[in-house]
Every structure is written in C-alpha cells, then in structure tokens.
Structure 1
Amino acid sequence: MAQTKKQKMLAEKLGDNQAVHGFDDALKLLRELKTTKFDETVEVSLNLGVDPRHADQMVRGMVVLPSGTGKDVKVAVFARGDKAEAALAAGADKVGAEDLLEDMQNGNLDYGRVIATPDLMGLVGRLGKVLGPKGLMPNPKLGTVTPNVAEAVKAAKGGQIEFRVEKAGIIHGGIGKMSFSDEALKANFDAFVDAVVKAKPSGAKGKYLRKAGLSSSMGPGLKLDVAQVHGA
C-alpha cells in the first residue's frame, strides 16, 4: 500500500522507531511532526514495575502541574451552608446536596472533578455506580473528600490532575498543550513523574520506572530515555 505524504514525513523524521530520546529532543520532534490545526494535548506514559491486581502495588494520587493543564475543569461540590458558599466563591461550577444528587442521577455528569464534604458522603455513596466507573467518586486519600472544599476547588481549577495505574502497569497523563512553552511542559513533566515516583507502593519489587514515552493527541509515541527521566 502506498504511503501518504504525512506517513512518508513521519517515517523520515522518526527514523529508527527503537530510538530513545531525551525529553527536550522528543518534544522538539513532536512539534516538528504536528500536522493538525487544533491545540493537541501532550501526553506522558510510564510503564511501572507493579501489578495493580495486588492492593499493595496500586499506584494512585494527585499532582498539581505548575504550568496548569490548559483545560477548563468543571467541578461539582456536595456541600451545604457555609461550605457551599465557600465552594461557589472558589469557582465551583455546581454546588448542592440532594438537588445535585438528583441532577447526577438524571445523567448530568459533565464534570472533571467531584468534591464532597465528609458529612455528605452518605448521600454521595448512592452515586457509586455512576461516579465510580468515570473515576469521579470523591476519595479522602485524593483530597476530594474534605471539609476544606474551597481549597480543593482551587486545586482542581489550578492544574491538579489525578493519576492511576492501569491493569498493564501503565500510567497515562496529559501534561499540557502543544501551545505551552518548552519550559512549561518540562516543569509539568517533572512534577508528574516526581509524583508517580514518590507514590511507589510498598509491594513494588525490582525496577519501578521501567519505560517512559511522550506523545501528542494525534502524533506518534516517542520513547524516552529512562536514565534521563527526572526522579528515575
């Protein structure tokens, strides 16, 4: 089958697909290969030496990307009274209790983060079957069940993202947009990798950070030199 012009360009630019790159070189190559008109997300993948089927090898956490995400995160908060007012003042998109529960039960789940005060978790628990599969269930370990909902809202709006290892031991995360500067993306990359390294579980054996890759929404996946990865 004949190659398209784009495929030929990719093949020429990529060369040996087994090659590994430093972060700066990989990002430069992604920029050179960009052919889309929209602002693509830059994504990191980390292959870890864990088996998440075992509870003591689960890797999950939150990290604040210092340069932000480039996305407007919609935040819903379960709170009443002063806490509800504080959440709204902090920029929450939707705040409520029984009314928010009913709204979500009716299928209105267009949120990137759901936060709750501890006293309303009994109410939120009724949404386990709809919030759980979407990764939106509030969790005290992730700081999304908290009496300080205002700070949680500010963090969600200010570049905080969640990471969680998948079945194959891989973590994926968006670290910003192609329109970001090299320095901004590098700062986000370092923060993301550092958080994953610090979240190393007690049950992890042998080499923890095994492989790393960098890609964009529509671009190729490039292998990173793990020896140069921050925190490795």
Structure 2
Amino acid sequence: MSKKLTKNRKKILEKIDKNKKYSLEEASILLKEISFVRFNASVDISVHLNIDTRLPNQIVRGTVRLPHGTGRNVRVLALVTKHKELEAKEAGADYVGLDYLEKIKSGWRDIDVIVTMPSVMDQLIPVGKILGPRGLMPNPQMDTVSMNPGNSIKEIKSGKISFKTDRYGIIHASIGRVSFNSQLISNNVKAFINKVIRSKPSSSKGSYIKSIYLSTSMSVSVLVDSKSFIKK
C-alpha cells in the first residue's frame, strides 16, 4: 500500500509546478487530477491575509453561502427551548433538544455545527471549554445564535459555512468535493473569496490577500493566482 501511495504522490508532484501561480480555472481542474484517495475527498482552501492577529479589530470572521454547497451532510445540533424544537426539526436539524448538553459533557461529539438561541446561551457556559477548542461554540457573528433558529439551520444545510482567521492570519475552509466539476469548484471559491474581501478590516493596510492555496484531502497544495479572478 505504501509503495502505491508513493507512486501516486510522485505522479502528483510531477503535475505541479511549485514556482507557478495557477489561474483559478487551471487549479480547479488540477485538483481533480491530483486526488488519489478512494473516497470523495474534500476541496479545501487556505487564504493567508495581511492582518495583525494580535489586534482584536483585525480578526476576520464571517459566514458565506456557497452557491453549490459543500457536498457533505452537515450534522446540526439545535440547542433550543421546547417551543422551538418542532421548528428546528422541520428545518432539518439532525439532533434537537437541551438534553444533548449532558451527552456533550459525557463525550458525545457527532456534530459539525450547533445552533442555539440567545436565551439558552447561559446554559452552554458549563460546556464552553469542550465546545470552544473544537470550534463548536455558537456565536452571533456566525449566525449560530438566533431568535429564528429554523432559518439558521436551513441556511447551514443548504451550504452556508463560517470562517475565521487562525493565529497566523490564515483562513481554512472546506468549499466542495472532488466529485464537483471544475466550474462548481471555481464558483464556490469565488463566492468564498468575495466574502473574505468584503470582511476586510478597515484598519488593515496594504495588500490584503497574501496567498490562496487549494488542496484536496491528503493532496499537496496548489498556489492560485488571485489576479486571475479577483476584480480590483
């Protein structure tokens, strides 16, 4: 098995010119050619921003609805009050009810996103240390704390994702699957980058985007020429 992976990796490296910045169209096509895993790998994006993450007002975060979704079923837990449980279920939540707080304390983690209501946030404090490091803590800025949880759940299920810079000023996100054709991948990338650009802090000076890389699960990264699709 290791020999096969090595052979595949060698083929991949031969396809990629590390000194080249690929147009978005080229990169979207190349991604499908360098994925060798036997499952429907995710297409991931890494955007390095010219910001100072030591300054709270330069942290970039937000949400964006990808036009073609992520290609995966996002497991949503709705921590809502009794009178909102039916709304959450009808909106497509996979798990509903405050009883799941105890399951989380016991180690249950089979979820991708948690949606809740302002009136419930205090009850999440005891599990904050569990949810926070995993990026699961609901946040109003991510539209996961809402008076209308049903709307939030529908948007998440239809392809809305959240993003936030890490301590190095890089945003990592999954924006599709290898099974997508190159045009769908390109469209999702454009929607994602456009939202990141609109989220630029007013205090950020100079060139905002340092680099954009695309990759698939377990593949090497492809450097994308932002000038090929970002309108100045």
Q: TM-score, normalised by structure 1?
A: 0.92
**Kindly tell me: are residues 101 and 211 of structure 1, through their superposed partners in 2, closer, same or farther at Cα, counting changes over 3 Å?**
same
CA–CA separation in structure 2 for the residues paired with 1:86 and 1:107: 27
Report the residue type matching 2:64 in the other structure: V
Tell me, what secondary structure is at the counterpart of 1:133? helix
* 1:118 is aligned to 2:118: yes
**Kindly tell me: are residues 7 and 96 of structure 1, through their superposed partners in 2, closer, same or farther at Cα, counting changes over 3 Å?**
closer
1:109 CA drift (Å): 2.2
Query: Which of 12, 17, 26 is 1:10 aligned to?
Result: 12
1:231 CA drift (Å): 5.2
CA–CA separation in structure 2 for the residues paired with 1:81 and 1:11: 54
CA–CA separation in structure 1 for the residues paired with 2:206 and 2:93: 42
* 1:211 is aligned to 2:211: yes
Instruction: Check conservation: 1:197, 1:231, Cα contact below 8 A.
Output: no
- In structure 1, stretches of 5+ residues that fail to align are none
Give the structure 2 partner of residue 228 of structure 1: 228
**Kindly tell me: are residues 35 and 109 of structure 1, through their superposed partners in 2, closer, same or farther at Cα, counting changes over 3 Å?**
closer
Offset from partner CA, 1:51-88 (integer Å, 9 cap, x none): 21210110011111110111111111111233111001
Offset from partner CA, 1:138-189 (integer Å, 9 cap, x none): 1112111111010111111111111111111111111100101222111111
1:37 CA drift (Å): 1.9
Tell me, what secondary structure is at the counterpart of 2:133? coil
Instruction: Check conservation: 1:210, 1:226, Cα contact below 8 A.
Output: no
* 1:67 is aligned to 2:56: no
* Matched residues, number: 229
- What RMSD in Å do the two structures reach over aligned CA positions? 1.8
Give the structure 2 partner of residue 35 of structure 1: 36
Tell me, what secondary structure is at the counterpart of 1:176? strand
Q: Which moved more, 1:197-206 or 1:222-231?
A: 222-231
Give the structure 2 partner of residue 26 of structure 1: 27
1:30 CA drift (Å): 2.1
Instruction: Check conservation: 1:80, 1:96, Cα contact below 8 A.
Output: yes
1:106 CA drift (Å): 1.1
**Kindly tell me: are residues 172 and 205 of structure 1, through their superposed partners in 2, closer, same or farther at Cα, counting changes over 3 Å?**
same
Identity of aligned residues (%): 37
**Kindly tell me: are residues 146 and 22 of structure 1, through their superposed partners in 2, closer, same or farther at Cα, counting changes over 3 Å?**
same
Instruction: Check conservation: 1:41, 1:177, Cα contact below 8 A.
Output: yes
Instruction: Check conservation: 2:46, 2:171, Cα contact below 8 A.
Output: yes
Give the structure 1 partner of residue 193 of structure 2: 193
Instruction: Check conservation: 2:82, 2:97, Cα contact below 8 A.
Output: no
**Kindly tell me: are residues 132 and 231 of structure 1, through their superposed partners in 2, closer, same or farther at Cα, counting changes over 3 Å?**
farther
Where does 1:115-154 land on structure 2 (aligned, <5 Å)? Answer: 115-154=115-154
